[in-house]
Amino acid sequence: MNDERRAGRNPELAGTWLVDLDGVVWLAGEPIDRVGEAVARLRERGVRVVFATNNSAPTVDELVARMRRAEIAVTPADLLTSAQAAASLVSRGDRVLALADGGAREALVERGAELVENGPVDAVVVGWTHEFTFDRLAQAATAVREGARLIGTNEDPTHPTPRGLLPGAGALLVSVEAASGQQAEVAGKPHRPMIELVTARCGEVAAVVGDRPSTDGLLAGRLGAPFALVLSGVTAPGDRPDPAPDVVAGDLFELVAQLTDAKGA
């Protein structure tokens, strides 16, 4: 994977844009101002907009419904999730203990895995969940010590909401790693399983838009695409993002407006 950035390249208003969800399209499911208009402007110019999220909790139907509330029409083919990337790491018939909410569980079942709560386990999958208890942590760590693979949907330490940052799936994953003594295979942005999912679904990507440089920015570098950072999620004005973005805007609408203005569109 190529991590080198090609600094200073503005995204082209063409091809396929890969756009993050949490912190870019919405905060805790509440649409960010004028985001639907921004996507409509891109589509009017022939840009294919595909959405890629590290949040493994929502099911695909839930994501489609949230997008509808944001006035963005999508099909399931327009949505790439870390849940799907994580599911790609298990085989049909594998017994999987899932410390994760609906989206990850849905993707694992579609993959042909068997979700179990006890007995022999082939893999433990950790995603974002509100059901993370001491007993569940102990169960997962024991399964990993007994030979199960440890898979994380993503390693994002925080999750943006209108009221500030909440613990993310990465915060849960490090607990299982510490308790089991094993390092997880991570599936979501910017890791190889998500890169392979993006490549299979999208081919070449013209731009990556996100709010977290450590995931969206690194993914852009590994895809060889410009990185557009928006400040509507985890990155605040005055932060020093690493890797450095090619372009910065307050939100998705502002980003699209400044690019279209620059091209006189």
Q: How far apart are CA 61 and CA 159, in angstroms?
A: 21
15: part of which helix (H) or strand (E)?
none
Q: How far is CA 94 from CA 114, 196, 255, in A?
A: 6, 21, 43
| pLDDT of res. 64 | 97
| pLDDT of res. 5 | 43
Task: Label the pairing between strands 48-53 and 16-19.
Answer: parallel
- What's the whole-number average pLDDT of the chain? 94
Residues 111-146 have pLDDT tens digits of 999 999 988 999 999 999 999 999 999 999 999 999
22 is annotated as an active-site residue: yes
| pLDDT of res. 257 | 95
Segment 48-65 mean pLDDT: 97
Expressed in angstroms, the distance from the first to the final Cα of the chain is 35
| pLDDT of res. 261 | 82
| pLDDT of res. 263 | 63
Residues 142-165 have pLDDT tens digits of 999 999 999 999 999 998 888 889
Segment 24-37 mean pLDDT: 96
| pLDDT of res. 10 | 83
| pLDDT of res. 8 | 64
Segment 29-34 mean pLDDT: 95
Task: List the chain domain ranges.
Answer: 16-54+189-262, 84-186
- Evaluate the CA torsion angle 187, 18, 54, 116 in order and state its sign: negative
Q: How far apart are CA 45 and CA 15, in angstroms?
A: 10
Res. 16: pLDDT tops 80: yes
Q: How far apart are CA 34 and CA 183, in angstroms?
A: 40
Segment 22-50 mean pLDDT: 96
| pLDDT of res. 31 | 96
| pLDDT of res. 164 | 87
239 is annotated as an active-site residue: no
Measure the CA dihedral 66/72/78/82, to 10°: -40
Which class in CATH covers the domain with range 16-54+189-262?
alpha beta
Q: What is the DSSP letter of 14?
A: S
Residues 209-265 have pLDDT tens digits of 999 999 999 999 999 999 999 999 999 999 999 999 999 999 999 999 999 887 654
Q: How far apart are CA 113 and CA 95, in angstroms?
A: 6
What fold does the segment set 84-186 form as a domain? Rossmann fold (3.40.50)
Res. 202: pLDDT tops 60: yes
pLDDT band at 2 (very low <50, low <70, confident <90, very high): very low
Catalytic residue among 3, 20, 122, 242: 20
Residue 126 CA, chain-centre distance (Å), reads: 14
Q: How far is CA 199 from CA 129, 133, 189, in A?
A: 28, 36, 13
Q: Is 84-186 the same fold as 16-54+189-262?
A: yes
**19 vs 119, more confident:** 19
pLDDT band at 1 (very low <50, low <70, confident <90, very high): very low
| pLDDT of res. 190 | 98
Note if the bond before 243 is cis, omega within 30 degrees: yes
Q: What is the DSSP letter of 130?
A: S
Task: Label the pairing between strands 114-115 and 164-167.
Answer: unpaired
**231 within 8 A of 250, measured Cβ to Cβ:** yes
Q: How far apart are CA 164 and CA 18, in angstroms?
A: 24
Res. 76: pLDDT tops 50: yes
pLDDT band at 6 (very low <50, low <70, confident <90, very high): very low
Q: If DSSP codes are grouped into helix, strand and coil, which group holds residue 214?
A: helix
Q: How far apart are CA 201 and CA 199, in angstroms?
A: 6
